[in-house]
Amino acid sequence: MVLSKVGTIRLVLHRPLEGTPKSCTLRRSSTGKRYVSFSCEVPEPTLLPTNALQVGIDIGLTTSATLSPGPNGEAIDNPRFLRTDEKELAKVQRKFAKTEKGTPERRKRRKPVARVHERIAFRRDNFANQTARRIVNRFGFIAIEDLEVNRMVHNHCLAKSISDASWSLFFTLLFFKAESAGRRIVKVNPAYTSQQCHRCGHRQKMPLSERIYWCECRKGEWGRDHNASLNVLALGRQGLGGNSVEAAAL
């Protein structure tokens, strides 16, 4: 590839270019890797076939997300990438901290720390992309909680776990892919979705430690996250004129 004012460079294409290239951006990561990002002019994308399936999504930390369909919901496991590599990260950080500031040895020890962080970021991005794509391909209507993640990470007890779950990245990718595929996606108020029965509307206190919702009025029980996802779907369906939550849990 030949770039103006740069010359000829060799590159490995991540995937074939689509459309007409208009510009490119060169970037160097903290681990020394160099990337080229192309901006291309492409025609209107072909939309995926729309289906009538609807889903409410409850975001969490025990599970990454819980989908409303099915008698018990569908749980998407939380991979916890930072927790998985925490020991290795602590090891390279200790070696880095022991070196004297401003020395060549310290610059050398900085790269292994950056490499671990880079690997964690790659895994998060890949997981969020694949999860969002599967949801968009499967459902025509998506209701999701309108969480203020920037405020939630101020809780020092949960900040690390919330950041590791990468909720903001998942929301961004889900909305982008849904709009590109012609899906309808809405945000709903998350208040009391975990404390309210999705059938009768009875509300009761639910500490985070309680994972089963037991309704005293209807004498029924559901998983905490599944009950919340059904409430999210019900709130999302209000704008569509639907009243029955159970009819939407296809």
Query: Looking at the structure, do residues 177 and 102 belong to the same domain, yes or no?
Result: yes
Query: Looking at the structure, do residues 8 and 62 belong to the same domain, yes or no?
Result: no
Query: Looking at the structure, do residues 12 and 116 belong to the same domain, yes or no?
Result: no
Confidence check: pLDDT of 10 > 70: yes
Q: Please state, in angstroms and rounded to a whole number, the distance separating the CA atoms of residues 117 and 122.
A: 9
Evaluate whether residue 48 is within a structural domain: no
Query: Looking at the structure, do residues 131 and 185 belong to the same domain, yes or no?
Result: yes
Query: Looking at the structure, do residues 8 and 97 belong to the same domain, yes or no?
Result: no
Evaluate whether residue 191 is within a structural domain: yes
pLDDT at 127: 96
Evaluate whether residue 17 is within a structural domain: yes
Domain range holding 149? 54-248
Query: Looking at the structure, do residues 176 and 206 belong to the same domain, yes or no?
Result: yes
Evaluate whether residue 49 is within a structural domain: no
Query: Looking at the structure, do residues 86 and 109 belong to the same domain, yes or no?
Result: yes
In the three-class reduction of DSSP (H, G, I as helix; E, B as strand; rest coil), residue 241 is classed as coil
Query: Looking at the structure, do residues 242 and 118 belong to the same domain, yes or no?
Result: yes
144 vs 214, more confident: 144
pLDDT at 7: 85
pLDDT at 249: 36
Evaluate whether residue 177 is within a structural domain: yes
Helices then strands, counting H and E runs in the chain, come out as: 8, 11
Residues 231-249 have pLDDT tens digits of 999 999 986 754 433 333 3
Residues 100-146 have pLDDT tens digits of 999 999 999 999 999 999 999 999 999 999 999 999 999 999 999 99
Confidence check: pLDDT of 186 > 80: yes
pLDDT at 218: 67
Evaluate whether residue 219 is within a structural domain: yes
Query: Looking at the structure, do residues 77 and 36 belong to the same domain, yes or no?
Result: no
Evaluate whether residue 46 is within a structural domain: no
pLDDT at 243: 42
Kindly tell me the burial class for residue 93, based on how many C-beta atoms sit within 10 Å of its own C-beta (0-12, 13-18, 19 or more). middle
214 vs 90, more confident: 90
Query: Looking at the structure, do residues 31 and 137 belong to the same domain, yes or no?
Result: no
Residues 144-185 have pLDDT tens digits of 999 999 889 888 888 999 999 999 999 999 999 998 888 999
Query: Looking at the structure, do residues 144 and 30 belong to the same domain, yes or no?
Result: no
Strand partners, 77: 63
Query: Looking at the structure, do residues 37 and 59 belong to the same domain, yes or no?
Result: no
Evaluate whether residue 243 is within a structural domain: yes
Residues 49-72 have pLDDT tens digits of 777 889 999 999 989 999 999 888
Residues 12-46 have pLDDT tens digits of 888 888 889 888 888 899 888 888 888 999 887 77
pLDDT at 201: 82
Instruction: Provide the annotated active-site residues.
Output: 58, 145, 225
pLDDT at 241: 59
Kindly tell me the burial class for residue 5, based on how many C-beta atoms sit within 10 Å of its own C-beta (0-12, 13-18, 19 or more). exposed
Number of domains making up the chain: 2
pLDDT at 126: 95
